[in-house]
Structure 1
Amino acid sequence: MTALPVADRVTTRRSSRDLLRGERRAVVVVLLLQAAAAAAGLAAPRLLGAIVDDVLQGATVARIDRLALAIAVCTLVQGVLLRYGYLAGYRLGERAIARLREWFVRRTLDLPTAVVERAGTGDLANRSSVDVATVGTMVRDVVPIMLISSAQLLLLFGAVFLIHPMLGLVALAGLPSILAVTRWYLRRASPAYLAEGAASADLTESLTTTAEGARTVEALRLGDERITSGTDRVARQWATRRRTLGLRSVFYPVVEGSYGLPVAAVLLAGGVLARDGSVSIGDVVAAALLLQQAIEPLDRMLQFIEQAQRGVASYARVLGVGFGVPEQRGVAPVPGDERIVVRDARFAYTAGHDVLHGIDLDLRPGERLAIVGPSGAGKSTLARLLAGTEAPDTGSVTLGGVPVADIEPARRRQLIALVTQEHHVFIGTLRDNLSFAAPDATDGEMLSALVAVGADWYAALPDGLDTRLGEGARQLGPADAQQLALARIVLADPHTLILDEATAALDPTTARRTERSLAAVLGGRTVIAIAHRLNTARDADRVAVLADGRITELGTHDELVDAGGPYAALWRSWHG
């Protein structure tokens, strides 16, 4: 498997700014509300300090009551401002993450099939679930908290400086140790959390493939091998989690141990200054209370740094999905006609191990070509090149003079359709499953498409086209699901159809009937059929025999049988 890429730091920072660029007004509102809340919070320590000084000077009870009432009012105002500040922050985060989710879905759907297949389901599933959720938590919770806490800390320490500059300086006593351990942590956290995410994706991939292939594992007695493989991946994930846990076990104790230093330093320095008359006892009390009040936002910031690191690492993985989508440069080329031409096409999944060797092929519009050959000859790979799913390493595969792989994907799918043995029934109604191919199709057109491929089972559905299919509803067997896939192709109405053993899941009688139905419906279109059943080859206009990644024979059925070559041997074997 080839994992999807991960965005670098520059791209991640730039995308983070872009994510919030449309929310500048909301960001300003959040900051203003939180700054006002923090300012209201400054009043209580100052008023309490004033109470201390007034008591020492023999103030009346009425004055003390007025100051206490003022503290209560300021606390209430702070609570109201905090409430609306948090609300604005959460709304800001939800809007940003909604845009990110929409972007992620679009980019995922734009991924070339080859990229998805090489990455595997585990990596993509992990990014679409765990990583997106982690980024959502960061944008919704962490970013607002960091903004809020930063504003509060600036105001709180600024207030201490205003009481007396010396108190403000000694209030920074805990800062060197906090900055040092934070710097140490940040330098190591990002790669550690990226490694943890990759290990988690690898474990998900292993568990998914084992579960999906459970019957194969049981039939081939591969249980011990799969258990060993899963155990190794669990061990790797545990090792990466131990590394991140080790970072936290250093970071948090050092930070928490630094909290008491500023308060102690202010009390000591305040005592000296109060003895000299530079400040009052009330000022010292107010400064100490302000610093005590600063512990909470500082603690929140430092605690959320860990989540922020997880979020940044996940965000880099989410953005990496977009790197698998080829960029569209300028206007997408438009084919001049429907002629497909292959010239000296070579292709390798692994460098140095060619699967196809110098393929040359001309397909006339409306021609029906059958491609036959032994397993592993490269038939499916050639089908992928013809469909534009893969691009040749050297040589060319063109449609109307334009490289097939360069045609804009949505446009290419309208022109060329590839149907394989793999099929999928989406959760939803039968109408939903058919409308993917033609959103504007009428009920009559959908029913005609089902009839065209011999899907007579639809007549027994309790709610017709409104019958729900998929997990938790009516399950279609492999043959029915494949006919549903073929009905989508009828509705899509491409000018070129590539059938990569598309009827392999059907019994011979049903497959033959379906192929004949399709032949009648798709008459006049270019049809390329990868066939194991040689009856399909006999009905084709031409037959291409593929062996070891090369076309060894090309001609009509009768010509190849008369030639007495490999195809004639296959035909004799087919007929006993």
Structure 2
Amino acid sequence: MTRPAEHPDAEQGRLSALRRLLPFARPYRGLIALTFTGALLATLAQLAVPLITRRIVDGPIAGGDRGALVPLLGLALLFGTAEAALMFLRRWAMGNSSLAIERDLRDTLYQRLQRLPVGFHEGWSSGQLLSRATSDVSTIRRFIGFGAVFLVVNLITCVVVGTLLVVTYWPLGVAVLVTSVPLIAFGLGFEKRYNAQSRAVQDEQGELATDVEEAVQGIRVVRALGRSGLVFARYDDKALRLRELQLTKVRTLAVIWCMFEFHPQITLAVVLVGGALAVNAGALTIGGLVGFVALFTVLLWPILSLGFLLAQAQETASACDRVGELLDAPLTVADSPGVQPAEVARPARLRFEDVGFRFPGAGDPVLAGIDLDVAPGETVALVGATGSGKTTLTALVPRLLDVTRGRVTLDGHDVRDLPLAQVRSVVATAFEEATLFSMSVRENVTLGRPGATEADVTEALRVAQADFVHDLPWGLDTRIGEQGLSLSGGQRQRLALARAVLGRPSVLVLDDPLSALDVHTEALVERALREVLASTTALVVAHRASTVLLADRVALLQEGRITAIGRHSDLLAEVPAYRALLSSSAELAGAGEAGAR
């Protein structure tokens, strides 16, 4: 999925996302209130200077009373000091509250990504998720810590200053207010346009992040095929598109800034001309004019910042919308209300009862009418052509996917009626494509069982024939790098297998975990693996005859249905489709002939 479609009612979606983010601010409402109070009082303290200036001009300066200057200047100094102290208070409270909200939001978003089902992640590009968890969350933090504060404070300042201007000299005050009406209408007119442009830029940044991540992870393939130029061309096309989108946004922002910069200059000219005429007519004192102009200069920052703050508000609304898409994504695989742990033996009985599965929005079901009973301690191999549903069937056991019909049970308990944490603690899985993380060998192996003893780890490594780790520079404490690319494919598979067998789980699900091993290593792994399989219930996806021979029984899957089940030798002798499947590989054919004899 490149990017999600825009909701038909985008404005309603943004409001929903903003409401979803409000709970993150509640624990810090005291600090937020302190931030607003400090910012507002610091801004209002600035208003004292124009009023004091008016008193100085009309009093001590006009009357030549130098002694009266001292208390007025002291008062101005006092308000200046108070403004500085309030600014420090505002920055301290703002930093603490906004960074804490950002941390909580980022943690919640990451936890949500961990809980969302596998199907969700298969439909989203990693770059889109990354951009939401990093740049969008930072955008929200900047607005909470600065934009939201001054958007409210500046609006209050405009009201207070506007009132003081009218009180000082109402004709000029009304003129200033009237000239502000076109500016407000202009700002509202550009709001929706800028929001749409901000969303387009943020989405394209996610696409670009995806390209960078894929190019880095697939650098070996890109280099081996000599396609660096092609990969760069694709990246450059998206980078150019991002540049055009950003320039479009910059042009819109430039127009907004131009109008908000132009307005106060024209208004100031009107104030100076009108004020001079009023002083000449005796309707306004010189001190009154100086105070009026000084008050208006206090109004300049709120007016000039309005364009920037409105733009930041629109970017934040778009970021909230994008983050809200993840926070509101349905948890289709989750614990049922009031679910409680139940007793699951080791090994456990695994049963598929009339199981069916269909991907959302898909046509034909992937699985239909699957009935399979795996006795405690039994190993069943799943064999079938590509696309027959083997991997999907195994994904139902640890609830990476949930059945859409029927049920999967462990010792008679529907896996949907057990806590997810319990299901995934008693069911261990090793996939064909081994996924390792940028951490030490020990941390990778004990990922599913952090409390494993040294003896447990050593035994798991022995079973998986992964003793090569002791030859690494720092042994088990060697960091293996992102995706474990410093290791060979076979080494990665052996570590993933060691992780799965660690602790001897109640049910072991192996999705062809030996495909990258050479014949010699595979034989050693299988010999040790027999010990593990003897004491656990196992479901094994098999593509090699040697793996099939590990199983007590074999189930043949064809087009999402089990069409035959029995011992390998019996199926080979009695089921033509099974023989045909085996004969498609020279290796399997040779083993099949040996089994037939």
* TM value normalised by structure 1: 0.89
Matched, 1:498 2:509: yes
Q: Which amino acid aligns with 2:326?
A: V
Candidates 117, 122, 125, aligned match of 2:127: 122
- How far the C-alpha of 1:234 sits from its partner, in A, is 4.0
2:432 matches 1:425: no
Matches within 5 A, 1:305-316: 305-316=310-321
CA drift of 1:426 comes to 2.3
Mark the runs of 5 or more structure 1 residues left unpaired by the alignment. Answer: none
SS in structure 2 opposite 1:528?
Answer: strand
**Offset, 1:543:** 0.6
Deviation at 1:531, TM superposition (A): 1.0
- Deviation of the 1:369 alpha carbon: 0.8
Aligned partners of 2:39 and 2:150 also within 8 Å: no
1:390-539 equivalences in 2 (<5 Å): 390-400=401-411, 404=415, 407-471=418-482, 475-491=486-502, 493-539=504-550
The range that moved more, 337-346 or 373-382, is: 337-346
- Residue 368 (structure 1) shift: 0.8
Q: 1:560 to 1:471 in 2, by over 3 A?
A: closer
Instruction: Give the direction of change, closer, same or farther, for the CA distance of 1:521–1:319 in structure 2 (3 Å limit).
Output: same
Which residue matches 1:374? Answer: 385
TM-superposed deviation, 1:400: 5.0
Q: 1:461 to 1:516 in 2, by over 3 A?
A: same
Contact 1:370 1:542 (8 Å CA) reproduced:
yes
Cα distance in 1 for residues equivalent to 2:545 and 2:448: 29
Q: Distance in 2 between matches of 1:325 and 1:515?
A: 41
Q: One-letter code of the match for 1:560?
A: L
What is aligned with 1:78?
Answer: 83
In the comparison of the two structures, how many residue pairs are matched? 576
1:513 deviates by 2.0
Deviations 1:24-57 (A, max 9, x none): 2112222222232223211111121222213663
Partners of 2:310 and 2:453 in 1: how far apart? 54
Which of the residues 334, 350, 362 maps onto 1:339? 350
Question: What residue number does 2:151 align with?
Answer: 146
- Tell me the SS of whatever aligns to 1:546: strand
Match of 1:174, SS state, is: helix
1:330 maps onto 2:343 in alignment: no
Change (3 A) 1:440 1:44: same
| 2:260–2:303 Cα contact (<8 Å) kept | no
Q: Tell me the equivalent position of 1:240.
A: 245
| Amino acid in structure 1 at the alignment position of 2:456 | E
Q: Does 1:363 align with 2:368?
A: no
Distance change in 2, residues 1:492/1:148 (3 Å): farther
CA distance in 1, matches of 2:370, 2:214: 34
Aligned-partner SS, 2:563: strand
Q: Give the CA deviation at 1:303.
A: 1.1
Task: Give unpaired runs (5+ residues) of structure 2.
Answer: 8-12, 591-597
The Cα offsets for residues 310-358 of structure 1, whole Å up to 9 and x where unpaired, read as: 2221222123222335165522365676432141514247622443344
Query: 1:560 deviation in Å?
Result: 0.6
1:443-470, CA deviations, whole angstroms, 9 ceiling, x for partnerless residues?
3322232223221113224444333332
Query: Which digits, 9 at most, give the CA deviation of each residue in 1:491-530, with x for residues without a partner?
Result: 3543222111112222222223223323313433221111
Which amino acid in the other structure matches residue 287 of structure 1? F
CA shift, 1:557, in A, is: 1.0
Structure 2 CA distance, aligned partners of 1:493 and 1:136? 46
1:283 corresponds in structure 2 to 288
| Residue of structure 2 in register with 1:24 after alignment | 29
Deviates more, 1:182-191 or 1:53-62: 53-62
Structure-2 change in CA distance of 1:29 and 1:161 (3 Å): farther
SS of equivalent to 2:358: strand
Secondary structure of the 2:101 match is helix
Letter in structure 2 aligned against 1:382:
L
Q: Structure 2: which amino acid aligns with 1:416?
A: V
AA at the equivalent of 2:86: L
1:169 aligned to 2:211?
no
Is the contact between residue 39 and residue 86 of structure 2 (CA under 8 Å) also seen in structure 1? yes
State the 1:399 CA deviation.
Answer: 4.1
Is 2:47 aligned against 1:47?
no
Q: 1:128 to 1:530 in 2, by over 3 A?
A: same
Tell me the distance in 1 between the aligned counterparts of 2:553 and 2:512.
Answer: 17
Partner of 2:66: 61
The aligned amino acid for 1:536 is: T
SS across alignment from 1:417: strand
Kept in 2: contact 1:340–1:397 (CA 8 A): yes
| Matching of residue 107 in structure 1 with residue 107 in structure 2 | no
Normalised TM-score (structure 2): 0.86
Change in CA separation of 1:386 and 1:372 when aligned onto 2, cut-off 3 Å: same
- Contact 1:345-1:360 at 8 Å conserved across structures: no
**What is the 5 A alignment of 1:189-204?**
189-204=194-209
Paired letter, 2:115: D
Q: Distance in 2 between matches of 1:225 and 1:394?
A: 45
In structure 1, C-alpha distance between the alignment counterparts of 2:372 and 2:484, rounded to whole Å: 45
Q: 1:81 to 1:158 in 2, by over 3 A?
A: farther
**Whole-angstrom CA distance in 1 between matches of 2:31 and 2:93:** 7
Q: Indicate the RMSD between aligned Cα atoms, in angstroms.
A: 3.1
Q: Deviations over 1:271-314 (max 9, x none)?
A: 56546655432122212111112212332342132223222212
User: Aligned match of 2:562 in 548, 551, 556?
Assistant: 551
Using a 3 Å threshold, how does the CA distance of structure 1 residues 297 and 519 change in structure 2: closer, same or farther?
A: farther
Q: Work out the CA distance in 1 between the residues paired with 2:455 and 2:408.
A: 37
